[in-house]
Structure 1
Amino acid sequence: MSGVVQHFVLAAGGTGGHLIPAFALAQELTARGHHVALITDERGAAIPGKPDALTAHVLPAGRITKNPLSWVKGTRAIMEGRRMALRLFESFDPSAVVGFGGYPALPALLAATSAGIPSVIHEQNAVLGRVNRLLAGRVQAIATAYPEVSRLADKYLGKVHLVGNPVRPEVLDLRNRPFPPFTDEGLLRVLVTGGSQGARVLSEVVPDGLAMLPPALRSRLQVTQQCRPEDMEAVRGRYTGHHIPAELGTYFEDMASRLADAHLFIGRAGASTIAELTAVGRPAILVPLPIATDDHQAANTREMVKAGGARSIRQDRFTAKELAKQIQVMAQRPDTLANAAHAAWNCGRPHAARDLADLVEGFGGTPLMDVIRVGGTEAPASGSEALARESVQ
C-alpha cells in the first residue's frame, strides 16, 4: 500500500460477470484504506454481493446496436451519464476510474477522459468486449484475465497487464485444499451448472450421457445439477429412469462447498466459471454458449484445454454419446482425473484482486506508476460516434 488514502471509481455493466470482479477489487482497495464508489445501471445495483462499504451510483447507460433507431436514444443516454459522472468526479476526486466492461461503464470512462483522470479497463474474457475495444485507446492500462486476448490491437499491447479474474473469497479459500480422493471404487461426484441461458441443453444431454457410461463407472456416480424451474421434473425423471442418484436445484447457495467436493464439472465457459475452476483446480467438460458475443466463451476455454485441465465440446456436437466418451477419457483412472485437476489449478491466478489493486493504486504515485506504460495514441472522436461506427461494421 502506498500509505496515501485515495479515491477510486469503479464502473461496471449490470451483469454478474462484470460486477463480481468489481466487488472483489472494491474489497481489496477498501482493505487498503482507500475510498471506493461504484457506477452502474439499475440491473447492476440489484446484483447480490456488493460490499457494504461500496456506494453505488446508478447512471443512464444507453445501448447502441446495429439498428440506427437506437443511435439517438442510446447516444442521449450515454452523454447524460457522462455529465452525471463528471459531477460525481468533481466531488469525489478519484485518482483513477476502473471500467469492467458493459455499456454502463462507458459514460464513466468517457467522463474520465474528459476530466483528465487516469483510467484502467479490466477484461474478464479472452476476447476484448465491444465497449473495452472502444476505450482501449483512451485508457492508461488494460488488465486482462488471460495471456491471449483476441480483438486486442497490437498497438495497445504495451499497456497490457495480465492480472487474472478476481473470484469470491469463499472460492479462493479452497485453493490450498487437496483434490478430493478419487479411487477405483469410490464415488465420482459430478457438478453440473448451466447459467440462466444455458441450463436447458445440459438438462437434456447430461443425464443420458451419464447413463451411457460403463456400468462400473455409472454405478459410482453422484450428481448435483442446476436446472431451470421448468425443466426440473423432466430432468428428475431422466435420472430416476437411469437409476442415477442426483440432487437437483434451481440455485445452490453453497456452491463453493459443492465445487470443493466435486471431481468433475460440466457446464458453460463464462469468465467467472473458468476463474473459479482454475482457482480451485477442478477438471471440466465445457460447453461454450454458442450465442455469446464474439464467441468469447469458446475463447475462454483455450488456456485450460491446452493445459490439459478441461475438454471443450461445441454445442452442436454436445451429444450424450460424445459426453460419455469424454468423461471416460478423463475418469478412466484416478490419476488421469487428478492430473487434470492439477493442470486446471496451474491455470489459476489467485492473486488477481491484489494484482489489479496494485495496478490501480499505482496511479496515486506508488513506485508501480513507473512501470505503467501510458499510451500515446490520439483519442478518437466522441465515444458515442465511434461506438455507433463500430456497431454497424
Structure 2
Amino acid sequence: MTQSHTYVLAAGGTGGHMVPAAALAEELAGRGHHVVLISDDRGVRYPGLFDGVETHVLPAGRLGGGPLGWVRAAAKVMAGRSMARKLYKQLRPACVIGFGGYPALPSLLAAFRSGIPTVIHEQNAVLGRVNRYVAGKVDAIATSYENVERLQDSWKAKTHLVGNPVRESVLALRNRPYPMLDEDGIFRVLVTGGSQGATILSQVVPDGLALLPVHFRRRLQVTHQARVEDIDQVRAKYANHDIPAEIATYLPDLPERLAWSHIVIARAGASTIAELTAAGRPAILVPLPSATDDHQTANAREITAAGGARTISQRAFNPTELAKQIQKLGLDPVALENAAKKAWGCGRPHAARDLADLVESINAPEAPAGVRRAALRGNTGGARPAFAMTEHRA
C-alpha cells in the first residue's frame, strides 16, 4: 500500500494552469494523498475544479511596469515565499508541484529554501517564463510535448514526457466513436476561443461558413462561443447567412458539444489541444499571435504535422481561407474521419496518471533519496520516464 503524503500544487489563475493541476489533484487524492492548492484569487475560485481541496492564496507579483514595477513584484514574491515557508512547516509536504504562472513562483522558491523536492509541469510547447526561471533547480520537469522550445540541454536528463492532463469528462470521449457523417447528413461545427471567446473567430467564421458551397452550407449546424460584446453581432451574421447557430458566452457542457462535433475551429491553447487530441476531433486552429513566446503556434505543430488539424495564422485568417480549409477537410467524409484518427493518435490519455507516478517516484519509500534522484535523472530526451509507463500513442 502506498504511503500517504501531502502534496502542494502551485498554479497560476488561468484555466491553462488550473485544469491540469485539478486533474493531478484528483489523481493524487484518489491514491490516498492529501492535496493542497496554492494560487491567486482567480485560481482558488475557479468553478468546479477544486471543490473540497484545501486552498491558500499567497501574494505574487507579475513583472512589468518598469523598474518600479519590478521592485514591487519582487517584494510580493518574497512576501509570498515567506508565507509559503511558514505554511510548509505545518503541512510538511513531500513535494511541491508547479504548473507555471507567476502565482506559482513563491511556492517553488519556498520549497527550494526549505529543501522540499519539486516538480514542474509545462503545458505548452514552449517552456514558460516562470518554469524557465526555476527549471535548473527542480528535481523533475514534466512536459506535454515531445519537443519543447526553451528547454535547455542541461535540463533534458530530468525531463519526462507525460502529456497535459484533461478533465475526466473530456477523457471519457476517447472511447466514443467519431460521429457518423454521410454526404447528406448534418455537419456540426464547434467554434470556441477559450473561456473568454475570441473576437477574430466571431468576425471571420460566420462569413467563412457562408462562402461554402450551397449544398454544404445547408447541412451546417454551428455552436459558437463568443465574447459578451460580440454576441449580438455574431447572432445577426449567422441569421443573415441563414446558418443555424447556437451562440453562447459560456458552454458548461463543452465536453458533450465536443463529442458530437465533426470539426472544431479554435485557438491553440494548451488545454484546447489536449482536449482535441484526447477526444480525437479534427480542427482548424488559429493561434493567438500575442501569446507569450508565440507558444500557441508551437502548440499546434504536432497535431498539424500529424494531419489532425490545419493551422491558419491570424494574419492569414479570413473568410476565403477558412472556407477553403473547411472544404479540404469536410467535403470528404473519409478524409475527415482520417483526420479525427490522426488527432486521436496525438493524445496522451494517461497524463494525470503518469504525472502522479512521476511525483510519487520522488518519494518512493523503497529507495534512498540519492537513488531516487539518480532514477529521475536517468530519463533522457523526455521520451519515457525511468519508472514504468505505458505507451501514450495509439
TM-score (norm: length of structure 2): 0.92
Q: SS at the partner of 1:248?
A: strand
Structure 1 residues 198-217: aligned runs within 5 Å: 199-217=198-216
Which residue of structure 2 aligns with residue 384 of structure 1?
none
Tell me the distance in 2 between the aligned counterparts of 1:31 and 1:373: 27
Q: Partners in 1 of 2:321 and 2:100 — Cα distance?
A: 35
> One-letter code of the match for 1:241?
N
Matching of residues 353-392 of structure 1 within 5 Å: 353-365=352-364, 369=372, 371-373=375-377
Structure 1 residues 373, 259: CA separation in 2 closer, same or farther (over 3 Å shift)?
A: same
Q: Which amino acid aligns with 1:191?
A: L
Give the alignment of 1:301-312 within 5 angstroms. Answer: 301-312=300-311
Shift of 1:239: 1.0
1:117 positional shift = 0.7
- The residue aligned with 2:390 is none
Alignment correspondent of 1:8: 7
Q: Post-superposition, which runs of at least 4 consecutive aligned residues in structure 1 deviate over 3 A?
A: 366-370
Q: 1:359 to 1:220 in 2, by over 3 A?
A: same
Quick one: distance in 2 between partners of 1:340 and 1:296? 23
The answer (yes or no) to whether the contact 2:195–2:250 under 8 Å persists in 1 is no
Q: Does 1:325 align with 2:329?
A: no
Please state if 1:133 is matched with 2:166. Answer: no
| Structure-2 residue corresponding to 1:190 | 189
Gaps of 5+ in 1: 376-393
1:22 counterpart letter in structure 2: A
What does residue 123 of structure 2 align with? 124
Structure 2 unmatched runs, 5+: 380-394
Aligned 8 A contact 2:197 2:249 in 1: no
Partner of 2:252: 253
Aligned mates of 1:64, 1:248 — CA distance in 2: 37
Task: Describe the SS at the equivalent of 1:192.
Answer: strand
SS at match of 1:294: helix
Q: Distance in 2 between matches of 1:172 and 1:51?
A: 18
Alignment match, 1:148? 147
Q: For 1:24-82, what per-residue CA distance to the aligned partner results, in whole angstroms no more than 9, with x for missing partners?
A: 10110010001111111112112112333311110010112261111211111101100
Query: Which residue of the partner structure matches residue 78 of structure 2?
Result: 79
Q: CA deviation at 1:16?
A: 1.1
Give the whole-Å Cα distance in 1 for the aligned partners of 2:142 and 2:170: 22
CA distance in 2, matches of 1:196, 1:36: 26
What does 1:1-393 align with in structure 2 at a 5 Å threshold? 3-65=2-64, 67-195=66-194, 199-365=198-364, 369=372, 371-373=375-377
Name the stretch that deviates more: 358-367 or 97-106. Answer: 358-367
Percentage of matched positions with identical amino acids:
61
1:344-390 Cα offsets, whole Å, 9 max, x none, are: 00000110000000000112125693621189xxxxxxxxxxxxxxx
Whole-angstrom distance in 2 between the partners of 1:270 and 1:347: 15
Alpha-carbon RMSD: 1.4
Equivalenced residue count is 374
Q: Give the deviation of 1:195 after TM superposition.
A: 2.6
